[in-house]
Chains A and B, each alone.
Chain A
Amino acid sequence: EAQVTQNPRYLITVTGKKLTVTCSQNMNHEYMSWYRQDPGLGLRQIYYSMNVEVTDKGDVPEGYKVSRKEKRNFPLILESPSPNQTSLYFCASRATGSGTNEKLFFGSGTQLSVL
C-alpha cells in the first residue's frame, strides 16, 4: 500500500530536549516536505526537499532541521524544542513528473507538545 509513515503519532517533551520525528514514504517520490498545522493558520511549510541531498527552507524554518540522505526518508529534527513549537506536524511527498500539479500524499501527523 502506498503510504507516508510518520512516527511517533504523539509526543510530549520538555523544553530543550532534542527530538526527531521520522518520515518515510514507499512511493519512490523525489519531493518531500514538512508542514505544521496550527488552528486558524492552515498549513505552513517548514522545509522541503526536491531530491536526495537537496533541501530548502519553507516559510517557518526557524528552530528546525532536516536531512535527506535517502530518497525514502526525511526526518524532522528539533535540536532545542520550545513551547511555541507545540503543533501538529505533517510530512508529505509527491512525484515530480508534472511539477507542482502533482498531488501530495500526507502522513497521519505527529502531535507534539513541548512543556
Chain B
Amino acid sequence: AQSVAQPEDQVNVAEGNPLTVKCTYSVSGNPYLFWYVQYPNRGLQFLLKYITGDNLVKGSYGFEAEFNKSQTSFHLKKPSALVSDSALYFCAVPRRSNYQLIWGAGTKLIIKP
C-alpha cells in the first residue's frame, strides 16, 4: 500500500543549528513529493515540491529538501534554524490510484533560542 511516514513526532533544535525533518515514502514509480508547514492557528502553507530533475529542491523561507530514490526519502533541511521556524511540518505524496495526496502524521519542530 502507498504510504508516507514521518518517523519523528517532534524535533528539537537550537537556534542557529542545522535542522532536518525526516520523511520516507512508499509509492511505486517516480513520485511527486511535497512539504507543507502549519504555523500555530493557521492553515497549511506550501513549502516546496519535488517533481523531477535535481534531487535538491529549494523552497520558501530558506528550506530545502533532498530526494533520495534509493532510500525512498525526502528529508526537509535548513542550514541555520530560526525560532520562527517552530511549526508543524507535513510531508505528502499523491496516491497513484486517484492522485489525491497521502499525508504524513506531521512533525512538530521546536527551535529553542
Contacts and interface: CB of A to CB of B under 8 A. Distances in A.
Interface of A: 4, 33, 35, 40-45, 48, 56, 58, 90, 92, 99-101, 103-109
Contacts of B45: 106
B43 A43 contact: no
Contacts of B44: 43, 90, 92, 104, 106
A100 B90 contact: no
Contacts of A48: 100
Interface residues of B, number: 23
B107 to A, nearest CB: 10
A42 B49 contact: no
A65 to B, nearest CB: 18
Contacts of A109: 41-43
Q: Which of A90, A103, A108 has the most CB of B within 10 A?
A: A103
Interface string B31-44: 01010100001111
30 contacts: A4-B43, A40-B105, A42-B90, A42-B103, A42-B105, A43-B44, A43-B90, A43-B101, A43-B103, A44-B103, A45-B100, A45-B101, A58-B100, A92-B44, A100-B99, A100-B101, A101-B32, A101-B49, A101-B51, A103-B34, A103-B46, A104-B36, A104-B44, A104-B101, A106-B45, A107-B43, A108-B42, A108-B43, A109-B41, A109-B42
A48 B99 CA distance: 11
List 5 A-B pairs, minimum CB-CB distance, nearest first.
Answer: A106-B43, A103-B46, A42-B103, A100-B94, A43-B103
Given A40-B9, A42-B103, A43-B103, 10 more contacts: A4-B43, A42-B106, A48-B100, A58-B100, A90-B43, A100-B100, A104-B44, A104-B101, A106-B43, A109-B41
